[in-house]
Chain A
Amino acid sequence: MKSLLATLALTTALTLPGLAMARPVTMTTTLADYGGDGAYLAFYVTDPSGAYAGSLWMAGGKSKYYEHLSDWYRATGGDTAQVNGITGASVGAGRTLEITLDLADALFDAGYTLHIDAAVEDMRDSPNEVAVPLTTAGAGTPVKGRRYIASFAYDM
């Protein structure tokens, strides 16, 4: 969690005085039965201008496949340092990924958008599978992805 904060602080230049300014957020992602291998998922945030602000999580450990997460890859240039310490396993079809992170308060209700890029071997690359504005009101509202994600919600 701490490394995430550090990453976000660095990449977004959002200064965080301390943990008091952050809150735990649980992100629940359930995949559809799309009939393929485990999906790679990149969770990242863009600022109000649409510019990349920082990565939250990378599901999938082999960096040679990251180019298929094409929006994330374009935004970061495929820089694996962006997901150092916040990388987990890819998520199988029909499975649910639950991650809890301490996210800075300043990210909410300030025009930031959470994006998920998804890709599956020998199937469609799905950049921007999910794009939801980070708002306190939007917490707990499930959304559906374009191709692979049956439902995604963040709770605080």
Chain B
Amino acid sequence: MIRAFHRWPGLLALALVTILGLSGAALSVFPAAERLAAPQAEAGLTVAALAGRIQAAYPGIEQIRRAPSGRITAYWFDQGTPGAAVIDPATGQGVASADPNQTLRWLTNLHRSLFLGDGGRIAMAVGAAAMLVLSLSGALLVVRRVGGWRHWFARLRGPLAGRLHVEIARIAVIGLVLSSTTALWMTASTFDLLPGAAATPAMPAEVSGRTGFAPERMPALQQLPVADLRALSFPSAGDATDVFTLKTGRGTGYLDQGTGELLAWADLSGWERVSQTVTMLHTGRGAPVLGLILGLMALGVPVMGATGVLIWLAGRRGRPRIRGNQPARRAETILLVGSEGGSTWGFAATLHDALTRAGQSVHVGPMSGFAPESYAAARRILLLAATYGDGAAPASARGFLDRLTAADRLPDVPMAILGFGDRSFPACCAFARAVAAAAQAKGWPELLPLDTVDRQSPQDFARWGRALGAALGIPLELSHQPVLPKTRTLTLISRRDYGADVQAPTAILRFALPRATLWQRLTGSGFARFEAGDLLGIVPEGSAVPRLYSLASGRRDGFIEIVVRRHPGGLASGQLTALKPGDSVAAFLRRNLGFRPGRGRRPLILIGAGTGIGPLAGLVRGNARHRPIHLFFGMRDPESDFFYGEEMPAWQAEGRLTRLVTAVSRGERPRYVQDALRGEAAQVAQLIREGARVMVCGGREMAAGVADALADILAPVGLSPAALKAEGRYVEDVY
């Protein structure tokens, strides 16, 4: 609900608040610049003395004004010619032009009315109102995200756009609330919507009728410090009935030009005083430092606008339209989704569709909208939950666990949880498990035991669907094809073949880098940014399900390289290994953030066997900073499947590769890569104690063997692979 109050004003008023923010930030500089540029009055200078100095310099003086910055401007006539200047109060002489600054004038008119008069003023006021609504709803969203006001500045996780949006928001929100509230007040004042017209004293009925009393000698002006002056208007020449008009920060009064006497005085009304403060807070005139701070905060508006749109687009992408969604209070089946990137929504849509076709009435919604009291007709509740990071709630399930544990009464209908994740990560489906544990602790009956879907596997999902159908007594066949990312056509430029003699035909395939669009370059999406270890999704002809291959090159290499072994009967590997230079294939890029070497100079221990060498070789090739890398490589026969064997000596000579240890599994003394590791136990343990990071790539069995070997190697020094994993110093890419 709050999100809707944030999203729609944000999108609708995006252009207005962006213009307001940018022009406001630009305007905020002027009061400070004026304060620095204006000659300031010496301490203790009175208005009487100032008026005397100026009148001596400009006998035809009509008005003296003092801006909140301390700038003093005089307006006079000299033989019928109007003159105006910024005055140095020390001399009374003009020192600079009093003409309005044209840039300031242009920015002010843009900021206040888009150059469109009253209609523009109202539009900008609507923009300010939108900014206020956005600030308040945004603050509530931040509180919800970080878990309370006290955690306002808590560390954030998640995609960059979302983090940037909140980082800026939680600093800038104070300034934006202040600026937008004061803007609305000023608009109301301009349109006469506030009570309390300017209080001016009634014109004195009688004046002395004399003229020529110098302002220097007027007691009221002699007691008035220059800092309190707003304006002093002189009587018009030759009109003995006219008076001096004095405006100060406290009120307005009239002074007799013949006696210097104060004829009348009116204090500012309460409303005027508030308006004066509001104007100062909004414009920074009289508070230049505050103005600069507010301007800096306003500069965050366009950034938040851009990141906000990115967040909104990311949320929409991949979230399918669900047709015939039933209201929560009428549905028999409540299907709640916890999704981060949107792919789990796709599974939910398939499930919704299948259940609906089986005659059920189904409501689909985000887990964050969990509201047990409104599920009046529910017979069962199904939860599809992905995991964010190391077990945190995904975007659409925020707050679910809190609500579950806080709920007094749970619906007395059974529930089933299906977790989505990647089983190669230790934290796979951790959020789903946490939900299951919380539900069990609450005594919520189970319809089905917790199950998981590995890497969006359609097979896993279909299996769970059959179990669900059995529990409901209906046949349920779930056939879900994940929505594929947009593919690009990649053209093969070269291939190198290995392994034919050891019954493991393998090719290193190198594709040309497709041109990135400007948008991709700006957002780093698609093939505009990738590193060795990211994944290349290949969609083979005759299948809709993509196969993922680890990349053996990064964007900087200028090509896309993978290592593919042909499996007997393998569709994708068969097609890939049959490619000739010039042939092409449809592919997309998927980031693999869990398999990265990390920054820094700490040594890397890379362990791989067979085609698992691909991403590791890519890391070595890209190691231009000469980080120490120790590579353990298992192969069958150096004569046949020593991938990248030609490059290795050069990489070592260039300092990209510190040490290469190979293990050969065929021949007289077969050795696997884990054996090679044990053979170097002392050095491996030493490196890890020094903070080395371990990266393993290859088949599942090899990875298990490596983990066992490392457990043995590390036990004497009090470490374990599990402890390293928890620290993020042991990562695997296993298939």
Between A and B, 6 residue pairs with Cβ closer than 8 Å are: A36-B100, A37-B100, A63-B192, A122-B105, A124-B62, A124-B84
Smallest CB gap from A70: residue in B: B233
- Cβ–Cβ < 8 Å partners of A128 in chain B: 236
Question: Within the complex, which residue of B82, B191, B198, B200 is in contact with A146, where a contact is CB–CB below 8 Å?
Answer: B82
Residues of chain B contacted by A71 (CB below 8 angstroms): 236
Hey, which chain B residues are within 8 Å of A146, CB to CB? Answer: 77, 80, 82
CB distance A70 to B84 under 8 Å?
Answer: no
Tell whether, in the assembled complex, residue A36 and residue B189 are in contact, meaning their CB atoms are under 8 Å apart: no
With most chain A CB atoms within 10 A of its CB, the pick from B80, B82, B84, B117 is B82
Q: In the bound complex, what is the Cα–Cα distance between A71 and B235 (angstroms)?
A: 10
Partner of B192, one of A64, A67, A70: A64
A147 touches B82 (CB 8 A): yes
Interface string of B79-100 (1 = CB under 8 A from A): 0101010000000000000111
A-side contacts of B109, CB under 8 Å: 37
B137 contacts chain A at the CB level, 8 A cutoff = no
Contacts of A147 in B (CB 8 A): 82
Q: Find out whether the CB atom of B203 lies under 8 angstroms from the CB atom of A89.
A: no
Decide: A61 and B118 in contact? CB cutoff 8 A.
yes
Q: Which of A37, A62, A64, A74 contacts B203 (CB under 8 A)?
A: A74
Chain A residue with the shortest CB-CB distance to B254: A74
Known A37-B105, A78-B200; contact A64-B190, beta-carbon cutoff 8 A: yes
Measured in the bound complex, the distance between the Cα atoms of B236 and A146 in whole Å is 13
A64 & B202 in contact (Cβ 8 Å cutoff): no
B245 part of interface (Cβ distance < 8 Å): yes
Chain A nearest CB from B241 CB (Å) reads 8
Distance (whole angstroms) from the CB of A36 to the closest CB of chain B: 5
Of the candidates A36, A62, A63, the one whose C-beta lies within 8 Å of that of B105 is A36
Q: In the complex, what distance in Å separates the CA atom of A128 from the CA atom of B62?
A: 12
Q: Say yes or no: A124 contacts B197, CB within 8 Å.
A: no
Interface: B523 (CB within 8 A) = no
What's the minimum C-beta distance from B201 to chain A, rounded to whole angstroms? 10
Instruction: State A104–B98 Cα separation when bound (angstroms).
Output: 42
B102 is an interface residue with CB less than 8 A from chain A? yes
- How far in angstroms is the closest Cβ of chain B from A79? 10
Contact A127 B192 (CB under 8 A): no
B82 touches A77 (CB 8 A): no
Are A127's CB and B236's CB within 8 A?
A: yes
A37 CB contacts on chain B under 8 angstroms: 100, 105, 109
CB distance from B27 to the nearest CB of A (A): 13
Q: Is the CB of A125 within 8 A of B233?
A: yes
CA distance A147 to B105 in the complex (A): 19
Cβ-based interface call for A48 (8 A): no
**Contacts of B99 on A, CB cut-off 8 Å?**
35, 123
B203 contacts A125, CB within 8 Å? no
The answer for the CA separation of A37 and B99 in the assembled complex, in Å, is 12
| Neighbour of B102 across the interface among A35, A61, A124, CB < 8 A | A35
A36 to B, closest residue via Cβ: B100
Query: Residues of A contacting B203 with CB < 8 Å?
Result: 74, 77
B679 to chain A, nearest CB (A): 84
Mark contacts of A135-147 with chain B using CB atoms, 8 A cut-off: 1 yes-contact digit, 0 otherwise: 0000000000011
Smallest beta-carbon distance A139→chain B, Å: 24
Measured CB to CB, the nearest residue on chain B to A122 is B100
Please tell me if the beta carbons of A62 and B190 are within 8 angstroms of each other in the complex: yes
- Complex Cα distance, B14 from A121, in Å, reads 30
Top 7 A-B pairs, shortest CB-CB distance: A124-B75, A147-B82, A122-B100, A36-B100, A62-B190, A74-B203, A124-B84
**Which B90-126 residues have a C-beta within 8 angstroms of A?**
98-100, 102, 105, 109, 117-118
Kindly report which residue of chain A lies nearest to residue B247, judged by CB atoms: A67
Residue pair B77, A125 in contact (C-beta under 8 Å): no
When the two chains form their complex, are residues B100 and A78 in contact, meaning their CB atoms are under 8 A apart? Answer: no
Instruction: Please report the C-alpha to C-alpha distance between residue A71 and residue B233 in the assembled complex, in whole angstroms.
Output: 12
If A35-B100, A37-B105, A122-B100 touch, whether A64 touches B245 (CB-CB below 8 Å) is: no
Question: Chain B's nearest CB lies how many Å from the CB of A127?
Answer: 7
Chain A residues whose C-beta falls within 8 Å of the C-beta of B80 in the assembled complex: 146
Q: Which residues of B contact A63 (CB under 8 A)?
A: 192, 197
Query: Besides A77-B202, A123-B84, 16 other CB < 8 A contacts?
Result: A36-B100, A37-B100, A37-B105, A61-B118, A64-B190, A67-B198, A70-B245, A78-B197, A89-B117, A122-B100, A124-B62, A124-B63, A124-B82, A126-B82, A146-B77, A146-B82
A71-98 interface bits toward B, Cβ cutoff 8 Å, 1 = contact, 0 = none: 1011001100000000001000000000
Residue of A nearest to B101 (CB): A122
Residues of B within 8 A of A89 (CB): 117
Q: Which residue of B lies closest to A37 (CB)?
A: B105
Task: Quote the shortest CB–CB distance from A34 to chain B (angstroms).
Answer: 9
B200: which A residues are within 8 A, CB to CB?
Answer: 67, 73, 77-78
**Chain A residues within an 8 Å CB radius of B100:** 35-37, 121-123
Closest to B109 in A: A37
Neighbouring B residues of A67 by C-beta, 8 Å: 198, 200
Residues of chain A within 8 A of B192, CB atoms compared? 62-64
**B160-209 interface with A by 8 A CB criterion:** 189-192, 197-198, 200, 202-203
* Bound form: Cα–Cα A37–B236 in Å: 25
* Minimal beta-carbon separation of A134 from chain B (angstroms): 20
List residues 10-57 of chain A with CB under 8 A from any CB of chain B: 35-37
Query: In this complex, what residue of B is CB-closest to A71?
Result: B236
Q: Measured between C-beta atoms, what is the minimum distance from A29 to chain B in Å?
A: 17
Please give the distance in Å from A69's CB to the nearest CB on chain B. Answer: 12
Contact of B63 among A35, A36, A74, A125 (CB under 8 A): A125
Q: Which residues of A contact B236 (CB under 8 A)?
A: 71, 127-128
Given the complex of chains A and B, what is the CA–CA distance between A125 and B63 in angstroms? 8
A128 to B242, CA, bound (A): 13
Considering only residues 110-129 of chain A, those with a C-beta below 8 Å from chain B are 121-128
In the bound complex, how far is the Cα of B102 from the Cα of A36, in angstroms? 8
Within the complex, the shortest CB–CB distance from B204 to chain A, in Å, comes to: 11
Q: A122 to chain B: which residues have CB within 8 Å? A: 100, 105
Residues of B near A77 (CB, < 8 A) are 200, 202-203
**What's the least CB distance linking B263 to chain A, in Å?**
13
Alpha-carbon distance A42/B283, docked complex (angstroms): 28
Query: Measured between C-beta atoms, what is the minimum distance from A72 to chain B in Å?
Result: 12
In the bound complex, how far is the Cα of B187 from the Cα of A64, in angstroms?
12
Indicate with 1 or 0, residue by residue over B273-304, a CB within 8 angstroms of chain A CB atoms.
00000000000000000000000000000000
Shortest CB–CB separation between residue A119 and chain B, in angstroms?
Answer: 11
Roughly how many angstroms separate A38 CA and B88 CA in the complex, as a whole number? 29
**Contact present for B189 and A64 (CB under 8 Å):** yes
Which chain A residue lies CB-closest to B191?
A62
| B198: chain A residues within 8 A (beta carbon) | 64, 67, 78
Closest CB in chain B relative to A59 CB, distance in Å: 13
- B247 CB → nearest A CB, Å: 9
Closest Cβ of chain A: how far from B33's Cβ, in Å? 15
Q: How far is the CB of B234 from chain A (nearest CB, A)?
A: 11
A112 vs B189: C-alpha distance in the bound complex, in angstroms?
36
